[in-house]
């Protein structure tokens, strides 16, 4: 299987384009099993992340692979459904995956974690900020990106520096959403910012209910709203708050930041987002410069993006881990290597210790400029 796919096939990520229903594992391959939220190619962040992963693995294979063994990526689309993600993960392991790798979104990633634990398979690089992937420590799970808690910390600190007084969290009405709410409450107290409580929503929230949420923001005298959950629902809330004359600032975590800013258009101007990778268009870090060089070689006409850089970064971390596992890596040797692991990916450090599988704590802030582009 070659990694140089036509652009359309690369982005769609359909199982038929990525391998046969039953995969034979060649002796000179390391099979990387990935279930990813692509939603048939409609999830822009997922397709970008997949493209970044492929560009990194392609570069490694051109250079001889991992101790002579090429990386064979097998990707299935979970359609952002937790049950499908778990089923995909079990299928990938049954058909020869050495590790599970690189899911996105909290629900599917948590489901993959369950399959990883049940099958004894390392799960590397879930691209999700959920607390449950990190605490309590999961011996088989190794996130790379910073978690949402660190993004909330950076956003609240910036809010304090810019004179904002009271923060609230717009969050999914779920166990994970409530964990994020607890984190924001604690982080606000640490930063000396008043806490305006939670604004919970379900996926079927109506426009009338969102107008009620917008009114609640004003009633609570909240001047900073952060989000966890659907960018589409957050967009609807922001539109209703602005239509009602609300003056609160609406900021967000990295998840969905690019499509949210694009959907809001002029309403996104001066919004601040946390980002868990460096700017993909600047050249301030060795990681970004390397990514840009490989990206131009593989997809010259495609723009740089946060999603493809996160995919590239996560894949690069996996490559470093596989090399640390020895000349003939096994799952056991990989887990041993990751018990005391510290790698600089080129401006982003990823660290695992025996008692902590946090990965990176890199968080930067980006503001949406008047032209809709991120200023970072």
Residue 13 has pLDDT above 60, yes or no: no
Output the pLDDT for position 203.
87
Extents of the domains making up the chain: 7-146+282-362, 148-275
Fold agreement (7-146+282-362, 148-275):
yes
How far is residue 49's CA from residue 358's CA, in Å, rounded to a whole number? Answer: 20
- SS3 annotation, 252-321: ECCCCHHHHHHHHHHHHCCCEEEECCCCCCCCCCHHHHHHHHHHHHHCCCCCCCHHHHHHHHHHHHHHHH
How far is residue 41's CA from residue 340's CA, in Å, rounded to a whole number? Answer: 37
| Token digits of residue 23 | 């995969």
Output the pLDDT for position 4.
37
Longest dimension (CA), the chain: 64
pLDDT (tens digit, 9 = 90+) per residue, 186-209?
A: 999 999 999 999 999 998 999 999
Output the pLDDT for position 176.
87
From the list 100, 2, 84, the residue with the least C-alpha distance to 40 is 84
Q: How far is CA 122 from CA 77, 93, 113, 117, 125, in A?
A: 20, 10, 9, 8, 10
Output the pLDDT for position 142.
97
- Mean pLDDT calculated for residue range 330-343: 96
Residue 29 has pLDDT above 70, yes or no: yes
Confidence of residue 25 (pLDDT cuts 50, 70, 90): low
pLDDT (tens digit, 9 = 90+) per residue, 343-358?
A: 999 999 999 998 889 8
- Mean pLDDT calculated for residue range 304-325: 97
Q: Are 103 and 75 in contact (CB under 8 A)?
A: no
Residue 22 has pLDDT above 70, yes or no: no
How do beta strands 141-142 and 99-101 pair? Answer: unpaired
Residue 286 has pLDDT above 60, yes or no: yes
Confidence of residue 225 (pLDDT cuts 50, 70, 90): very high
Class level of CATH domain 148-275: alpha beta
Check whether the bond before 136 is cis (ω within 30° of 0): yes
Yes or no: domain 7-146+282-362 corresponds to CATH 3.40.50.2300 = yes
| Token digits of residue 19 | 């391998």
Residue 353 has phi, psi (to 5 degrees) of: -125, 170
More confident residue, 364 or 22: 364
Confidence of residue 299 (pLDDT cuts 50, 70, 90): low
pLDDT (tens digit, 9 = 90+) per residue, 83-117?
A: 999 999 999 999 999 999 999 988 999 999 999 99
How far is residue 335's CA from residue 71's CA, in Å, rounded to a whole number? Answer: 18
Burial profile 270-301: b = 16 or more Cβ within 10 angstroms, e = fewer: ebbbbbbbbbbeeeebebbebbbebbeebbee
Output the pLDDT for position 7.
37
Query: Could you give the percent of the chain with pLDDT greater than 70?
Result: 92
| Token digits of residue 2 | 């070659």
Pick the range with the lowest mean pLDDT from 6-20, 21-35, 235-249, 289-303. 6-20
Mean model confidence pLDDT for the chain = 91
């Amino acid at each position: 299987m070659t990694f140089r796919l036509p652009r359309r096939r690369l982005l769609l990520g359909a199982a038929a384009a990525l391998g046969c229903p039953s995969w034979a594992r060649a002796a000179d391959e390391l099979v990387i099993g990935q279930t990813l939220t692509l939603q048939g190619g409609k999830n822009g962040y997922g397709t970008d992340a997949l493209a970044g992963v492929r560009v990194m693995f392609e570069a490694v294979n051109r250079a001889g692979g991992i101790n002579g063994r090429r990386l064979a990526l097998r990707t299935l689309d979970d359609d952002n459904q937790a049950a499908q993600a778990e089923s995909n993960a079990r299928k990938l392991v049954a058909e020869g995956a050495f590790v599970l790798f690189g899911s996105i979104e909290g629900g599917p990633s948590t489901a993959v974690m369950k399959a990883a634990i049940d099958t004894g398979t390392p799960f590397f690089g879930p691209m999700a900020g959920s607390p449950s992937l990190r605490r309590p420590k999961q011996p088989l799970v190794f996130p790379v990106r910073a978690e949402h808690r660190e993004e909330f910390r950076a956003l609240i600190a910036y809010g304090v520096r810019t004179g904002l007084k009271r923060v609230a969290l717009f969050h999914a009405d779920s166990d994970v959403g409530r964990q994020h709410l607890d984190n924001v409450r604690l982080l606000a107290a640490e930063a000396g910012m008043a806490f305006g409580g939670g604004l919970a929503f379900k996926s079927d929230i109506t426009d009338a209910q969102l107008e009620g949420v917008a009114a609640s923001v004003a009633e609570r005298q909240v001047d900073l709203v952060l989000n966890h959950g659907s960018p589409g629902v957050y967009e609807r809330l922001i539109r209703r708050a602005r239509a009602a004359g609300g003056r609160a600032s609406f900021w967000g975590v990295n998840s969905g930041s690019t499509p949210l800013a694009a959907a809001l258009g002029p309403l996104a101007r001066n919004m601040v987002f946390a980002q868990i990778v460096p700017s993909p268009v600047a050249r301030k870090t060795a990681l970004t410069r390397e990514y840009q060089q490989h990206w131009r070689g593989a997809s010259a006409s495609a723009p740089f993006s946060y999603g493809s850089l996160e995919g590239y970064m996560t894949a690069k971390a996996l490559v470093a881990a596989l090399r640390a596992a020895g000349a003939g890596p096994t799952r056991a040797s990989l887990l041993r290597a990751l018990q005391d692991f510290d790698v600089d990916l080129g401006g982003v450090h990823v660290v695992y210790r025996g008692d902590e599988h946090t990965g990176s704590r890199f968080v930067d802030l980006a503001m949406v400029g008047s032209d809709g582009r991120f200023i970072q």
